Structure 1
Amino acid sequence: MTPSFVRQESRRGSTGMGKDDVIRVYWQPGCTSCLRTKEFLTRYDVPFESRNVLADDQAFEELARFGLRHVPIVTRGDRWANGAILKDVADLVGIEGVDMTMLPPQELWRRLELFLDGTMRLYAQIPDDALHNLLPNRPRSYTDLVYHIFSNADAFVEEKEGIPLVVESYRRRPAEGANGREHIAAYAQTVRSRLNDWHDKTFAACDWKKRADVFYGEQNQHQFLERTVWHCGQHARQLMWVLEGMNVLVKDPIPDQAFAGLPMPQKVWDD
């Protein structure tokens, strides 16, 4: 699988790094954009200081001077960029000529449906006694992960309804006592119905160049859709990885071609 942002080689510009110009990446395990950001900088030989905010309480305190409480964030001196937007990261650290070509909206939508369908197939294969096991070094259960995938898609539709995408949109979890298989399946069905309804009524007329109301920077609707799709896709890959780690023979896995052309991280999880 080759991420779209490496289809075209780019050259790194002069960073002019000095003692007070250290590049730092603030991240947490399992965060899709965090992993992609670190891989992006590593590919282009940009040295950075790794700051895992879940392993180091001081890391979030360092972000406070920027008024930030979310990741991924890349800082350089008194400047910062949100890792969700690789162009902004590239501008911050001096990488030039990165190809940001996106798949057409209709194809992105098809991939989203593949990932959501695949998520429920994979979730059904997790043993009952493992549903609430936690992911490595991250306080998120397998059930929480499935809920998060559908919540991402739900947040995309909410933005179209006038509800801005805020940090908390990506932090939602099922309520305690409402996190069994039947609850997750019901939520998934509700989200799919909302997606289908929006698609049938509005997709064809959507202005994909219009600015999206998202917290992480200046993005148009096409870019927001792309992020929603690969975000869901990366988490679906994590579900397959979880099953493989339990020595479960995965039935009907999501095929590799479903990820082709998307700006995915190479790895599934942080080392």
Structure 2
Amino acid sequence: MDEVVKVYWQPGCSSCLKTKEFLETNNIKFESINILEDPRGFKDLEKFSLRMVPIVIKGENWANGAVFRDVAKVAEFSYDEHKMLEPNILFSKIIQINEITCSFLKQMPASKLDVILPGRPRSYRQLIYHIFNIPEVFLNYFQNDTPYTYEALLSILPDQIKNENDLYYYADDIKVRFESWWSNEGKNFDFSKPANVYYGEVSFHEVLERTAWHSGQHCRQVELLLKEKLNIIPKVALNESLFAGLPMPSNIWDNEISFSESSYDGQVKEDLSIKE
């Protein structure tokens, strides 16, 4: 009997969605396990000493869903990798995503920032902070040798960020840092060099690309949030040309959980830090 491919994921997780869509595109059947709703999820991951999603498991082999070549190896199929955009283009997109997210934040009522997203215990405020924090994690790794871990990308909201103005200041600080880094180091860096990150063996080019599409996908979610949850028409609409050349998911929120659902009201009882 053939072993079943299993995908462990959670709603609103951009890498989880990409992993599921990747397998579907390649006609790979899999068992879908939402770790926030299915009690088997945490237990299965613990067998492999794993505390993160997305994870793809087949038999005794597993891969982090963030690296498609590893997923393909575990699921036993071949595929052609896409051509990445040049680093300077990725840098430009990351800056634009920061600016557009700030525009969305300006339109969001302060009273709504702590509303919880559907299907997942994350607030609107935390989602927006996460968008700005993704490039910071990259910068901290590149400039300060801070380990690029899944804990770093949990994007736990710092105590000093108490209101929307604090988020603006934080976003601007990251933008200035990123622009300075590019001018002084990034534009002359060899991005083909291997990077030491938690999700697999990848190059700095791949990490920079993931910084762009990852923050971009969550920016798409904030735009959706404004439109569908708050009935607010964004003054600055996202143009799909911004995402041209990036390996974006087809869906914005998830392909199994509807964004129209009410706020998440469940509890994660296990003491595990699950990131996306």
TM-score when scaled to structure 1?
Answer: 0.90
Per mean C-alpha deviation after superposition, the further-off stretch among 43-52 and 227-236 is: 43-52
Q: 1:234 aligns with which of 201, 211, 217?
A: 217
- CA–CA distance in 2 between the matches of 1:94 and 1:146? 37
Answering whether residue 198 of structure 2 is matched by residue 215 of structure 1, we say yes
- CA–CA distance in 1 between the matches of 2:52 and 2:154? 10
Q: CA RMSD in A?
A: 1.2
Q: For residue 122 of structure 1, what is the aligned residue in structure 2?
A: 104
Q: For residue 194 of structure 1, what is the aligned residue in structure 2?
A: 177
Q: For residue 48 of structure 2, what is the aligned residue in structure 1?
A: 66
- Matched positions, count: 253
CA contact (8 A) 1:143 1:179 kept: no
Partner of 1:218, secondary structure, is: strand
Query: What whole-Å deviation, never above 9, does each CA across 1:155-179 have from its counterpart, x for those lacking one?
Result: 0101112112001111122234633
CA contact (8 A) 1:159 1:213 kept: no
Partner of 1:121, secondary structure, is: helix
Q: 2:34 aligns with which of 39, 52, 58?
A: 52
Q: For residue 37 of structure 1, what is the aligned residue in structure 2?
A: 19
Q: For residue 265 of structure 1, what is the aligned residue in structure 2?
A: 249
Q: For residue 172 of structure 1, what is the aligned residue in structure 2?
A: 155
- CA–CA distance in 2 between the matches of 1:177 and 1:133? 19
How far off its partner does 1:78 sit? 0.2
**Residue type at the aligned position of 2:222:** L
Structure 2 gaps of 5+ residues are 258-276
Q: For residue 167 of structure 2, what is the aligned residue in structure 1?
A: 184
- Summarize the alignment of residues 12-27 of structure 1 with structure 2, pairs less than 5 Å apart: 18-19=1-2, 21-27=3-9
TM-score when scaled to structure 2?
Answer: 0.88
Partner of 1:50, secondary structure, is: strand
Query: What whole-Å deviation, never above 9, does each CA across 1:170-214 have from its counterpart, x for those lacking one?
Result: 112223463310111111122112212211110122110111121
- CA–CA distance in 2 between the matches of 1:190 and 1:96? 42
Q: For residue 137 of structure 1, what is the aligned residue in structure 2?
A: 119
Q: For residue 254 of structure 1, what is the aligned residue in structure 2?
A: 238
